[in-house]
Structure 1
Amino acid sequence: MPGAGEVFNEAEDILDEHDKALLATSASVKKEKAKPKRRPLPAQLPRVEVVVDLEEDEKMCDCCQSPLHKMGESSSEALEFVPAHIKVIKTIRPKYTCRHCEREGIESVVKTALMPATAIPKSIATPSLLSQIIMCKYQFGLPLYRQETMLGDIGIELSRQTMSSWMLRCADLLSPLYQRLKDVLLSQPVIHGDETPLNVINA
C-alpha cells in the first residue's frame, strides 16, 4: 500500500512525470505539435442548456445602429457534479371499512393493502441504500464508521452497528447469487484473479 505522502502527493507526482516527459521530448521535437483534442462528454448524460445572450439594446450595429441578425452560435460544455440525492419514501396504505355494516351493528372487516415486500422487513433501508453501503464498503474500501460520519454530515443518524447488521442480512439474501457465481467460476478451465492486496479494517 502507498504511504500517506504518496497518496496526498499523487497529483504532484503525476505532473512532475508529465513535465519531465515534455522536457525530454522538447529538445528533439522542433516543430509545433498539434493541440490535443478533448474527448466529448458522454452523449447519454443529461444536459441543461444555458443561453448567454446579448441584452436587447446591445443587438444593434455599433456602426449604423441597424438591428443585428443571428448568424449562428458557439457552444461549450462543462461537467457538473451533483451531490447524492437522498429522499424519504413514505408508504401510505389507506384503510377501508363498510359503513352499512357499522350502521346495522354488524362487525365490519377493515381492509388495507399488503405492505410491499422489502429486503429487510421493518427497517428504513431500501434496496438503493443497501446497495450504496455495500458498494462503498466492498468496492471502494470505505469502512462503515466513515460512512456513518458522511451520513451524519447531511443530518442522517445511521450507526455503524445498524449498517453492520444490514450487511449480515444482505449476505444471507445474496447467498444464492454468490453460490451460483461460485459454481460458474469453478466450472471454467482457467480463472484469472486480481491478487492486489488491500488493507481493510473490520468496521
Structure 2
Amino acid sequence: MCFNEAEVTIETKYVIEPELEEVRPKAYKRRKSSGKRDADLKDLPVEIIMHELTSEELKERLGDKWKRLPDEVYKRLTFHPAEFKVEEHHVAVYAGNDNETIIRGKRPVDLLRNSLVTPSLEAAIMNSKYVNAIPLYRLEQEFLRNDVVLSRQVMANWTIKCGERYLSLLYDKLHKVTLTHFDRHEELVLY
C-alpha cells in the first residue's frame, strides 16, 4: 500500500488564504554629509582657473558703478591618462692619451640591460596584469592608443625576466623564513 504522507495529514476542509497587504516603507531621504567632497580631494594638487569679465564687458553690462562679490567656486576632477616620456641617456666616453684606455661616465644600473624597460614601466605592466587583471593584449592596445608600440610578447618577456631576476630572490627569502618558522614550531596546527 502506497500513500502520500502529506496528503494524509492535510485537512480536507476549505482553507481561506490570507489577504495580501501591500506594505510600503516610509520614504527615506538620505542626507548628504557636508564637507565630504573637500575631504576626498584635500591631498590632490589644485589648479585655479579664473573666469572673469573684462572691464569693458563690466562697463557695458553694469555701467560705471559695480562691486565684486565673493567668487562662485565649483570643483571638477580631471584625469590625464598615462604620460610617456623617452629618457635619452648620454654617457660620456673618454680616451686616454695612449689611445688604449677608454672610460665611461657613471650611469644608472638598468633593470634589464639593452632594453627599453624602466622600473616604472615594468611596475605599470605588472600592476595592470596582476592587480587589475588586464590581459597583455589589452594592455598592448592601450599603449597603441597612446602611440607607444610595445608588443605583448616583449611585455611578457620583460615580466618573466624581472620575475626570475628580482622577485625570485624575494620568494626564496620568504620560503626560507617560512621553513625556519615551521622548524622551530614542529607542530603545525591546521584549522
Q: Does 1:178 align with 2:171?
A: yes
Match of 2:65 in 1: 67
Per-residue CA deviation, residues 25-79 of structure 1 (Å, 9 max, x unaligned), is 5xx238x76556452242121111110112212334967x333232322211001
Rounded to whole Å, the distance in 2 between the matches of 1:44 and 1:91 is 34
Which structure would you say has the larger Rg?
Answer: 2
Aligned-residue sequence identity (percent) comes to: 26
Match of 2:125 among 133, 140, 145: 133
Rounded to whole Å, the distance in 2 between the matches of 1:185 and 1:51 is 59
- 1:107 Cα offset (Å): 3.3
Rounded to whole Å, the distance in 1 between the matches of 2:59 and 2:32 is 36
Q: Does 1:165 align with 2:157?
A: yes
Match of 1:50 in 2: 49
- Say if 1:35 and 1:110 are closer, same or farther in 2 by CA, change over 3 A: closer
- 1:182 Cα offset (Å): 5.5
Give the 3-state SS of the residue equivalent to 1:96 in structure 2: strand
Give the 3-state SS of the residue equivalent to 2:41 in structure 1: coil
How many residues were matched structurally? Answer: 156
Rounded to whole Å, the distance in 2 between the matches of 1:60 and 1:182 is 77
RCO higher in structure (CA 8 A, sep ≥6): 1
- Say if 1:62 and 1:152 are closer, same or farther in 2 by CA, change over 3 A: closer
Counterpart residue identity of residue 174, structure 1: L
- Say if 1:74 and 1:178 are closer, same or farther in 2 by CA, change over 3 A: farther
Structure 2 residues without counterparts, runs of 5 or longer: 1-23, 183-191
After TM superposition, the score normalised by the length of structure 1 is 0.64
**Cα RMSD (Å) of the superposition?**
3.0
